[in-house]
Amino acid sequence: MTRYKLTIEYDGRPFVGWQRQANGLSVQQAVEEAVTAFCGEETRVACAGRTDSGVHALGQVAHVDIARPTTPREVQGALNAHLRPHPVSILSVNEASDDFDARLSAIRRAYRYRIVNRRAPLTFEAGLAWRVPGRLDADAMHEAAQRLVGHHDFTSFRASECQAKSPVKTLERLDVRRLGAEIEVAVEARSFLHHMVRNIVGTLKLVGQGRWTGDDVAAALAARDRASAGPTAPPDGLYFVSVAYPPGTDGQAG
């Protein structure tokens, strides 16, 4: 039995999310069915961070155990072949140690949220970004975002159905920058609460519109009450970017 680390890219629009569910096709189900089609084995593919319906991934990481003698190159080619026509791509496959766990071994996760700040509707980017028509002040959003960086109780930015044992998290990075008509929000932490990034983005949008200040964001954080923060941003603009692991734990450095 060999454990493989999979780095996966996917468009979240056709799926009910990463995790298997009874109400539709998930990314997990699509990958697991591809594994079965390749080697005839019923196995579980575990990921670094579950994504909701409509959320995308540029570098999701998962692990899977396969008994059949094979190679990382063969696994990658076979899974990609069997995943067609789903918008899922196995970017790389590496052998990993038996104790590597895509979720539990992770030391940092990175997300990106894309806002297209323009009046005209989206065409090619529809479903891949959040269109906000009114002008947003990205500098003000970035300044206010720094009030959330650090070790805090993020109850105000936590979904009511969140199953995390504690609302306390350490936000290592929260940067907002404008690139032409696009505003990018980059977020990094060891772990996140359910809807935490989307709730933060929805709150920062209020700052960009001039409706809130950095002090309002700080007050919302201190309130430890979901009703005190801004709305939940749609899933369209959220991307799971990457995962970091301690060197030597995942079959490759870093």
Q: What amino acid positions are annotated as catalytic residues?
A: 52
Q: Are 133 and 236 in contact (CB under 8 A)?
A: no
Q: What residues contact residue 38 under an 8 Å CB cut-off, 6+ apart?
A: 75, 78, 79, 82
Element at 184 (helix H, strand E): strand 182-189
Q: Are 202 and 227 in contact (CB under 8 A)?
A: no
Give, in degrees to the nearest 5, the angle at Cα 87 between 85 and 90.
Answer: 100
DSSP bridge partners of 173: 188
